[in-house]
Amino acid sequence: MVIAKAPTAVAPTFSATPSIHQTGDGCVEFEVRLTSCPAPTVQWYKGETAISDGGRYRAVTHTDGVNYILTLTITGVTKDDSGAYKVTAKTSAGESNANINLNLEGLFIAVTAAPQRIGCFHHRCKTFKQK
């Protein structure tokens, strides 16, 4: 008789630098990757305010059981969407946070998180500056 060992609990650990993608339909999508066991409870924030899934915000989690891709999509992005964003992942084994800053200035969108990207958004060129 073989007795299966329960998986060891692992606190959520972010495995890549957060990234931001511009979609073709006028949206911005934040993406973070993490590993965790058991499944984490996930919460996105703008500043200190928790973001609820719905309306202009869509939070999605994809997983293979241990590896997770968390996305937050904002539709109809405006200057008011500028600011500090955070995602928190919690389990019984611990908690981790990832931070992303979205800075909207005039016609340009400047994002701090990873490498630089350049693209077009509503037919006006925008620069996504990520670090």
- Work out the angle at residue 47's Cα, subtended by the Cα atoms of residues 86 and 53, and round it to the nearest 5 degrees: 65
Short-list 93, 50, 90, 92, CA closest to 72? 50
Residue 100 near residue 31 (C-beta atoms within 8 A): no
- Predicted pLDDT at 1: 67
Sheet holding 108-112, edge to edge: 49-50, 41-46, 83-91, 94-105, 108-112
pLDDT (tens digit, 9 = 90+) per residue, 74-129? Answer: 999 888 999 999 999 999 999 999 999 997 765 345 444 433 223 333 333 333 33
Please state the pTM of the whole predicted model: 0.75
Domain covering 10-101, topology: Immunoglobulin-like (2.60.40)
Q: Where are the domains of the chain?
A: 10-101
Taking each continuous run of H as one helix and of E as one strand, the counts in the chain are: 0, 12
Residue 92 near residue 38 (C-beta atoms within 8 A): yes
